[in-house]
Amino acid sequence: MATRLSDIVRAIPARLRLQGSAARSMETARHRLVVGGLLFSVAFAVVAIRLVDVTLLAEAREPRAARVPNTGPLDLARADIVDRNGVLLATSLVTQSLYANPKLIGDAETVARRLAAVLPGLDEKTVRDRLAADARSFVWIRRNLTPRQQYEVNRLGVPGLFFQREERRVYPHGTLLSHVVGFSDVDNRGLAGVEQAFDERLKADAEPLKLAVDVRIQHAVREEIQHTIDDFKAIGGMGVLLDVNTGETLAMVSLPDFDSNAPGLADAESRFNRNTLGTYEMGSTFKMFTAAMGFDSGAVRMQDSWDASRPYTIGRFTISDFKGKNRWLSTPEVFIYSSNLGALRMALQIGVTRQRDFLDRVGFLKPSPIELPEVSHPLIPKPWREINAMTISFGHGITVSPMQLVAASAASVGGGIMRAPTILAREPGAKVPGERVMSAAASTQLNQLMRLNVERGSGKTADVAGYFVGGKTGTAEKIQRGGYKKNARISSFVASFPAHAPQYVLLVMIDEPQGKRETGGYATGGVVAAPTAGRIIARVAPILGVQPMNETPPDITRPLLASAGIR
């Protein structure tokens, strides 16, 4: 018992010592908490002060996006551009653009090097020079960054770099409609095509601008023309499909083309719209208009015959036929054999004044009214003499644009009513005004010749079963300074369908096609352009809702065969 009591007495000081040690530890922990709390309070205070400085005080001494010199308020929105079915052709996306305040940049060389590392294509020397300009408070570094590029710049953590919200124009179809839609610059100003022509409308009205073109048809036309260019090793080509009754341009292809998203990478040849800006001698396609004006004026009748027995000489010029028949030809034969001699005889019968007046009515003597900025002026003879009338009768001595040709063709086969071609969509069912440029009877006679040419003449390769195609071929030498370019031609074909009541006109032109072994070395309109037109019609007619004729098609050519003595 005594031993146990003594053990308890001895343990008391040890317990007291343990209690004292715990108290001291708790006191130390308390002091540490106080110090930690003070440090956190100071840190939060610093952060709060910095936030106030950045959000409230820095406005007075640092350039902000809203205060960019000479940029005005940020209102750069442009309306979308869509095709006739609402398919998006052009739209705007929000982006961020990078600028800097050189006064806040420390080491310009280092910053320029770091920026060039995260922004491919950035000119390091140019950026360094800009950042070293201490007298300036604002310089652009790169416009329209991608989200990834913005992230990488932010990661650099460089003071003096800032972002401004902007909008970038985007063209989802790239090259497909580049000559129609055009493009805009980095400041959202339209510089070509519809973007330029309707620049103010696109800025002022948020509603999408609806075009007449159909992406599906555009794709088919482009693909077939590109195939022909490749097949015949041509340097280019073009095609236009027009609605006869509305004047709507359903497709417009000019090759080579370019990417509307990167127009600066394209050369001048690719940016050149051959359909509206190019002018060409159209060759034998002009015989359509010689026949039409002859019928309209009464100077030409189906039962007439024309001397094509030998070449025609005037002054130092001699005019002859390609693969001529060397005999008198009936009016239908002049058309299906594409006789230059027969056409010039018609022109002489029509007369200079009536020829000029007719070509003026169908739009050949003035620029096309199509709503694009890239429109050329035709080159017409001055003075307009008898020799000019003769050469113009078969498509030489006057240069016009393909758009002028297809619009005049639409009027000639469409009952004689001229409707201005348009790149904009018409309201469905809207009555489109037009001007009568020839009699309906003359138009009907021309349609008979067009169909006969596909049945019996140079347009055979354009025929498509069920769609009753009419058409006229053309092959013209290319003009160069001082005369014609040797072994260089434009091969073309104008098609209408269905021929008995045309709803659509298609023009195909191939620039400098080369003959092949399979074609016997020929590269004429009937060999090159007509088959292309046929393939296009076979693809687009179902899209357009043209019903194929499974039964026997209307016989509109039998009277011509009888009058011409053709079996």
Q: Which residues are catalytic?
A: 284
C-alpha count within 13 angstroms, C-beta hemisphere, residue 17:
5
Whether 491 and 509 have beta carbons less than 8 Å apart is answered as: yes
Phi, then psi, of 330 in degrees rounded to 5: -75, 170
Cβ contacts of 265 within 8 Å, gap of 6 or more: 258, 259
Q: How many helices (H) and strands (E) does the chain have?
A: 18, 18
C-alpha count within 13 angstroms, C-beta hemisphere, residue 1:
0
Cβ contacts of 416 within 8 Å, gap of 6 or more: 296, 436, 437, 438, 439, 440, 442, 443
* C-alpha angle 332-307-459 in degrees, rounded to nearest 5: 30
CA 394 to chain centre: 31
Q: How far apart are the first and last CA of the chain?
A: 150
Tokens 């104008």 correspond to what residue? Answer: 494
Tokens 């390769």 correspond to what residue? Answer: 461
CA 323 to chain centre: 39
Distance CA 408, CA 404 (A): 6
Pair of tokens at residue 168: 């970038």
Whether 487 and 511 have beta carbons less than 8 Å apart is answered as: no
